[in-house]
Each structure stands twice: as C-alpha cells, then as structure tokens.
A and B are shown apart, each in its own frame.
Chain A
Amino acid sequence: MSETSAWILRALFVAVLATLPFLVNGYWLNMAILALIYSLVVYSITVLTGFTGLLSFGQAGFVGLGGYTYGVLSVKGVDPAAAAAWGLLVPTVAGFLLGLPAARLRGHYLAIGTLGFGVLVGQMLNNMVDVTRGPMGLLGIKSFGFDRVTWFYFVLALAVGLCAALEYLDRRTFLGVVLKSVKYDEISASASGIGVFAVKLLAFSASAFLAGSCGVLLAAYMRFLTPDLFISAESFRYLMMSVVGGVGSASGAIISSLILTAVPEALRAFGETNVRLLVYGLMVLFVLWFLPGGIGGLIDRLMTPVRRRITPRPRVAEPAPQPTSLPGRAS
C-alpha cells in the first residue's frame, strides 16, 4: 500500500468515527464514548509495556486514583478544571513514586509488584468509606457541562490526537528509540549512555498520567463511581485490549478498545450474559491464534509498501560475523 492510500485510510477511519453521532442511537454513542475513554488507559499500556517493555498489572489503580481524586474533589465543590488538574497530578505522582522501587524489579516481579499496587488501591477505595463512600458509590460528581455529542467529539479528538502523537513518538523521535532500547536490551542501553533508571521512571510517570486522565474522564462522564470499576480484573481487561490491539501499536489500541467494548454489547443479541462473555473469550482466543501481532501487527503489514516489506527476522539469532581482518593492523 502506498503512502497516499495509507493516509486516505486513516482519514477514512476518523471520518467514519466522526459521523457516528448521526448513524447510531444514544446507547451506542454512549458505548463509543466509553470505548474512546478506555483507549487512553490502553495507550498507557502502549507506552509502558509496548515501548519500554515494562509489564504492569496495576493500571486500574492509576485509573481509580485519577477518577476518585476528581470525583471526591468535585463533590466537595472544587471547580471541575481544578479537580481535573488534581486528578491528573495525583496518579502521575503515584506513578513516579511507584516507579522508584518498581524500576528495580524485573519481569514477573514487576508485574506482580504492580498487581500489588492495584489491589491496594482497589481495597483502599473500598475501605476508606468516609472519603470515597466505599461500596455505596460516589454520587453527585459535577461534569464539564458538555452534552453527549460534544463529549463524543471531545474524547474522539483526544483519542485520535494521542494516537497520532504516540505513533509519531514511536517512529520519528529519538525518545522513541531511547524507550525501545530499554525494552530490547537494558545492558547495552546503559552501555550506550542511556540512563535506564530515569527512562523507566519517565515511562511509569507518563503511563500513570495517561491512565489517570482516563480515570478523570470516566468520572466526569459517568458522574458516578464505585470501587468495582477499578478492581484488578479491570487491569487485566485493559491488558487484554492492549494485546488484542498489538502491544506497542497506538492505532491498534484505539481500534481494539472500540471493538472489545462494542462486541460484548453487540452480543447481547444472544440474550443470556454468560453465553455473551463466553463468545467474547473465544473471540480473544481466535484473534491471538490468527493474529499473533494483534490488530497493530495487521495494520503494519497492510501499511508497509510492498517493496519495502522485509522478511520477518528468524527466531534464532544469527552468529556474529567473524572478523576477517582487524582494522589498522596488517595481517
């Protein structure tokens, strides 16, 4: 596919989404708004896991911190803009602080350590009844005063803009290279003068910021929060969206959060909720079987111009070429 037709496809995708308010009823528009809000937390996984290679099982914790900070302040009568600022600041700081010990952890220790963080935040939201009202739910959150269609265009602009920004970061900037160098080989990254620890802290904070913004938007849009929205099962659902989209592909992330939100709703035709989720689970399995790179992998394959297509790298590392002669020394 040529560069032009790739741009035409992208424009078409956004255009189809932009006409959605005229095509579907309020119920489906509501779903689309929620899916676009959730795409932000999927981006947070794209940054953390996809770009930097750090696995987190606790993203719902950051979403919860953002959402509840906004919600509680807004109920206390703080101006929505100020509450939103706090709602972004608190998870970012929490992400930075969590990053301090977490950047030292590797692989599964990191995953379960962050899972611990997620569980702690979830239980805290549930148990701090005098602040969060616990399982009774937080009511009366004030919003930005948008109607539903405005909300849709607002989150659409945000989601598409962030998607473009992340793709740009990934492909065109040096920061993208720095992040990926940490993912592929920490040791050679630090040997090349990259501050691995600082990069990981940055990734954690940025990812917490994105997840927190998802929380703030959720709180402002739904205007009602319960701790159930932020339990660790949600973290796994976000991770599932990310993997189906292809971890590390922002375009895949937005598409998969739209699909994985819409499909369970569309499957309501099956009636019984269990059958519905059963089909959902099967669908995830099928995507993984037939598209190992997720939706993002499929997009990459379609978008790459045919003549530039490279054969996939062999699984086994090739032996390093033997030096035939040492430079500067006559043999």
Chain B
Amino acid sequence: MLTQIIVNGLILAGNYALVAVGLTLVFGVMRMVNFAEGQSVMIGAFVAFTATPYVGYLPAIAIAMATNAVLGIILERTAFRPFRGMELNGLIASMGMSIILINLAELIWGTVPQTFDTSFNNISVTIGTVGVSVQRLLVIASSVVLLLGLWWLVQYSNLGRQFRAVSEDPEVAGAMGINTNAVARMSVVLGSALAAAAGALSGPVNLITPEMGQAEMLNAFAAIILGGFGNVNGTIFGALLIGMVQSLAAVYVSNAYSNSIAFGLLVVTLIFFPRGLVPERMEENV
C-alpha cells in the first residue's frame, strides 16, 4: 500500500513539476503567465500517441517535445510578444490560444478519451510486495532526469545565465547585448517542450483526452504558488508536496476530493505564508 502511494505520488509530483517548471521559467523571463501550458501537455500526449505506432514509444516522446518546441515559437509570437508589459492581455491571449488548441485537438483526435498503450505498461517489477509497471518507474525516472537537466541548464549554461539576467532586469540585460526577445522565445520553447514530455510520459498511465491539460495546469499552479513564484527549487518542492498529498488523499479520503485537498492546502498555506513556502525575492519601490 505504502509503495503504491509513494509511486503514485511521485508520478503526480514529477508531472506537476515538469509543467510547473515550464510555467515558472516563462514567468521569470517575461513576467507573464502562460495559460496555454496545459494545452502543451495535451498536445504532447497526443503527438506521442500518434507517433508511437510508427517509431516506438521513446522516440515518440522526442518527437512530441520537438513538435511542442515549434508550438512554443508560435505561442510566443501570437500570445506574448504583442503584449509586453500588458500582463493581463497576455494572459487572456494565451487563454485564447488554449481554446484554439483544445478545439483543434478535438477536431483531429476526437473527444472520446483514448487509452495510450505502450509496451512498458505490460512489464512490471516487484518492489516489496507490490508489482509496479515499468512505465510508472519510467515516468518518475524521466521526470528526475529532465528536471536535473533543466537545473544544469539554468545554473551553468550560457543560455541559463541569459535567462537569469533577463529575469533580474530585462533592460539592463538588453543593454549588455542579450537578445531579450530570443531569450523570451527560448523560455516558451523550453517550457512547452517540458510540458510535452509531461504529457507523453503520463499519457500511458492515465487516459488521454483533449481536456486533460486543464486539471494538470491547475495543479501545477498550486505547486508553483506553494513553492513561491519564480523559484525552481521551491516549485519542485511544491509539486512533491501536492503530488504526495493527492496520492494519500486518493487512498484514504476519496478521489473526488483530491483537487479540493490540493487547493485547500494551498489556501491554508497562503493564509499563513502569503508569499509561499519559499518566498520569492520581491523589491518594494517607495
């Protein structure tokens, strides 16, 4: 039982973390919330689903990530670049894109939930007394690898330094010769590709539907706010917390309340820690 809860919790946490880290990245660089991130998850899952019969599951994940990178470029052009400095407009524009993407997906793949079966679903290993499918372990392992990769990228690579410089102060970063538009585009591309990975990985564990992105994104938001906006470590911590609590709640309380519990936790946390558990550095200009 305990193993089951932990594995399920880690799967949820890995997923939320991948989505949430993408959102945090975009927010850090552009101060905008990418509301279409949930749809990137969904598109990723469906592209992988379509590609798997032709190329196999693992390459299909890469294809999904590449497709979503292109989607990221489109998103940045349509929903973010025209609205620099107009935060609310950018938010609504990405919401508009998300309506468009959901309906495109329904036109292409239909509204009926589909099962996404991979060969890893049928192999299982025994941990303690319970059998866990390799697919589930793969989800956890890939999430960890991707998150570590992102951490390295942000911390040590040249691109990561540019990300951090732009999120610190876009004007000064621009004056230092950083192409802020290109950096902003890269943040959406990366965020979108990570979301695709989240969708392609978790798709075989759950059902895939064009509506699946919404719930995923709401929980990712909860994770981000719990952890403190714009903070990658805090976000991962928040995702772990929400995933574990939801997985516990699904067993001991009821599945119907799992969202309530995540958001109840969030609201209670915000009452006592108005800036999240790992507060974001905020300047106050008087």
Q: Which residues of A have CB within 8 Å of B286?
A: 187
Majority-rule SS of A interface residues? helix
Chain B residue numbers with a CB within 8 Å of A120 are 260, 263-264, 267
Of A243, A281, A292, the contact of B100 (CB 8 Å cutoff): A281
Bitwise, A97-125 to B at CB < 8 A (1) or not (0) is 00001001110110111011101100110
Interface size on B, residues (CB 8 A): 48
A29 in contact (CB, < 8 A): no
Q: How close is A19's CB to chain B, nearest CB, in angstroms? A: 32
Q: Is A280 an interface residue (CB 8 A)?
A: yes
Given known pairs A112-B266, A119-B263, A123-B257, the reply for A247 and B103 (CB within 8 Å) is: no
Q: Which residues of B contact A55 (CB under 8 A)?
A: 88
Inter-chain contact B95/A282, CB cutoff 8 Å: no
Q: Is B183 an interface residue (CB 8 A)?
A: no
A109 pairs with B229, CB closer than 8 A: yes
Q: Which residues of B187-222 have CB atoms within 8 Å of chain A's CB atoms?
A: 214, 218, 221-222
Total inter-chain residue pairs, C-beta < 8 Å: 123
* Contact residues, A124-168 vs B (CB, 8 A): 124, 126-127
Determine whether the beta carbon of B88 is less than 8 Å from that of A113.
no
**B35: which A residues are within 8 A, CB to CB?**
236
Q: Are A281 and B257 in contact (CB under 8 A)?
A: no
User: Could you say which of A109, A111, A119 contacts B218, with CB atoms under 8 Å apart?
Assistant: A119
B225: chain A residues at CB < 8 Å are: 108-109, 112-113
Does any Cβ of B come within 8 Å of A275's Cβ?
yes
> A240 and B274 in contact (CB under 8 A), knowing A116-B267, A119-B263, A285-B78?
no
A295 to B150, CA, bound (A): 41
Among A111, A272, A285, the residue within 8 A (CB) of B93 is: A285
| Residues from 235 to 253 in A contacting B, C-beta threshold 8 Å | 236, 239-240, 243-244, 247
Say which residue of A124, A187, A233, A288 sits within 8 Å of B82 (CB atoms): A288
Q: Which residues of B contact A240 (CB under 8 A)?
A: 92, 95-96
